[in-house]
């Protein structure tokens, strides 16, 4: 199939089936950037209310830059992959402070923003500035791998290069924005991961995967490494009214979010007696604990490279205070909702 044939089939399909989404209605690079960062690793339906919230709460890049990081993380709560929110905030500060609030209008300039990789730079460059850069996201990998029968793994350097070169070759130079939107919509609506609508597909007569009945073979991925398992024992101190929380400051998952004081151990199994010994070793000087009870369910959260198992221990005490040596906060339990927590802690609090 020639690039012209591909473009023409795609654009006819798009005329009929284009998704209507708020960020498609704007050429403002700030709003397009917001939507693209939110949609990294997030489905449109889940990302949409977050986009609307960010748009109304931080209508300009300056508004986002000037907001405290805690507020931005709270706005992001529930969306996962929090490094996106931290990068969003850092990039907004960079644009505001170093670029006088003016968004870069070139692909290379966009790549200098924290959290913006080749895919996001191509999306903003084409949607906001009509620059001829093809987007290659998960949808595009799948569509191209199936139509052209490419079995190079998409998560390898050579695979990335091969797909990027093909996408660039197919790109409609006269309408890069329309072409990129159409590719993304086509992947999301027609050539879906589990249930592509091949019977009504304008590419079917040229599609390798369909012609060879090998749809589930594409795209190919190299074997994923096993996920690291981590066991978090959260210490939920309580005097009936208050509790203690701390901010995660280390370079690790969930940096900048809040949590209950934590003991990270090598397993989820632990008796209350052993827990108290471990707490005394790890946190000398803490309030005297009268009794410790563990929630029955161990909560699990799977991240891209790790699987987290969380146990929550209620530690009853008469008098709750923050020992001098710890950077903890004493907060009323009723005020916990004003802090941004990882999803696993939100689930515990909502239960």
Q: Which of 34, 72, 154, 203 binds ligand SF4 (CB under 6 A)?
A: 203
- Examine residue 146 and tell whether it contacts ligand SF4 (CB under 6 A): yes
Residue 14 interacts with ligand SF4 (CB under 6 A): yes or no:
no
Shortest separation between residue 36's beta carbon and ligand SF4, angstroms: 24
Backbone φ, ψ for residue 345 (5° rounding): -75, -40
* Count of residues that bind ligand SF4 according to CB under 6 A: 15
CB atoms within 10 A of CB 216: 10
The whole-angstrom separation of Cα 210 and Cα 37 is: 33
Position 116 contacts ligand SF4 (CB under 6 A) = no
| 190 is a contact residue toward ligand SF4 (CB under 6 A) | yes
Contact 258, 247 (CB under 8 A): yes
Shorter beta-carbon distance to ligand SF4: residue 127 or 141: 141
- Closest of 189, 198, 199 to residue 216, by C-alpha: 198
Q: Which of 15, 25, 36, 229 is catalytic?
A: 36
Catalytic: 36?
yes
In this structure, the number of other CB atoms found within 10 A of the CB of residue 157 comes to 8
C-alpha distances out from residue 177 to 126, 147, 181, 300, Å: 5, 21, 6, 40
We find the least distance from the C-beta atom of residue 23 to ligand SF4, in angstroms, to be: 25
Selected binder of ligand SF4 within 110, 121, 191, 311 (CB under 6 A): 191
Q: Backbone phi, then psi, for 100, in 5-degree steps? A: 55, 30
The minimum distance between CB 135 and ligand SF4, in angstroms, equals 17
Of the candidate residues 65, 73, 85, 209, the single one contacting ligand SF4 (CB under 6 A): 209
- Which among 89-97, 103-111, 197-205, 241-249 is the span making contact with ligand SF4, rule CB under 6 A? 197-205
User: Residue 204: how many CA atoms within 13 Å on its side-chain side?
Assistant: 10
**Residues belonging to the chain:** 351
Nearer to ligand SF4, 177 or 207 (CB): 207
Among 104, 159, 176, 196, binds ligand SF4 (CB under 6 A): 196
3 state SS for 319-350 = CCCCCCCCCEEEEEHHHHHHCCCCHHHHHHHH
Check binding of 144 to ligand SF4 (CB under 6 A).
no
Phi then psi dihedrals of residue 101, to 5 deg: 80, 5
Q: Which is nearer to ligand SF4, 140 or 209 (CB)?
A: 209
Q: Residues in the site for ligand SF4, rule: CB under 6 A?
A: 143, 146-147, 190-191, 196-198, 201, 203-204, 207, 209-210, 215
Residues acting as catalytic residues: 36
């Amino acid at each position: 199939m020639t690039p012209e044939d591909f473009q023409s089939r795609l654009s006819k399909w798009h005329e009929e089936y284009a998704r209507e989404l708020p960020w498609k209605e704007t050429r403002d690079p700030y709003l397009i950037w917001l939507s693209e960062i939110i949609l990294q690793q997030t489905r449109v339906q889940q990302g949409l209310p977050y986009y609307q919230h960010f748009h109304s709460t931080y209508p300009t890049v300056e508004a986002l830059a000037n907001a405290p990081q805690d507020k931005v993380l709270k706005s992001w709560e529930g969306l996962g992959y929090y490094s996106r929110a931290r990068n969003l905030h850092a990039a907004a500060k960079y644009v505001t402070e170093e670029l006088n609030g003016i968004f870069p209008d070139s692909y290379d300039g966009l790549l200098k923003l924290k959290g913006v990789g080749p895919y996001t730079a191509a999306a903003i460059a084409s949607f906001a500035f009509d620059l001829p850069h093809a987007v290659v996201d998960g949808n595009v990998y799948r569509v191209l791998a199936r139509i052209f029968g490419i079995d190079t793994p998409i998560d390898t350097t050579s695979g990335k290069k091969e797909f990027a070169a093909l996408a660039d070759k197919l790109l409609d130079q006269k309408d890069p924005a329309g072409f990129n939107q159409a590719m993304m919509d086509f992947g999301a609506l027609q050539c879906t991961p589990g249930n592509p609508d091949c019977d009504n597909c304008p590419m079917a007569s040229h599609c390798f995967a369909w012609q060879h009945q090998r749809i589930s073979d594409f795209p190919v991925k190299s074997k994923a490494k096993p996920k690291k398992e981590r066991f978090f024992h959260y210490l939920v101190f309580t005097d009936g009214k208050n509790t203690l929380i701390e901010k995660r400051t280390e370079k690790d998952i969930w940096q900048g979010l809040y949590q209950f004081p934590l003991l990270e151990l090598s397993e989820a199994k632990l008796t209350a007696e052993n827990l108290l010994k471990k707490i005394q070793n790890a946190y000398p000087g803490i309030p005297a604990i009268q009794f410790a009870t563990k929630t029955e369910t161990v909560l699990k959260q799977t991240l891209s490279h790790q699987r987290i198992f969380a146990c929550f221990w209620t530690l009853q005490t008469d008098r709750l205070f923050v020992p001098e040596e710890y950077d903890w906060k004493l907060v009323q339990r009723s005020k916990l909702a004003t802090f941004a927590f990882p999803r696993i802690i939100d689930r515990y609090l909502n239960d």
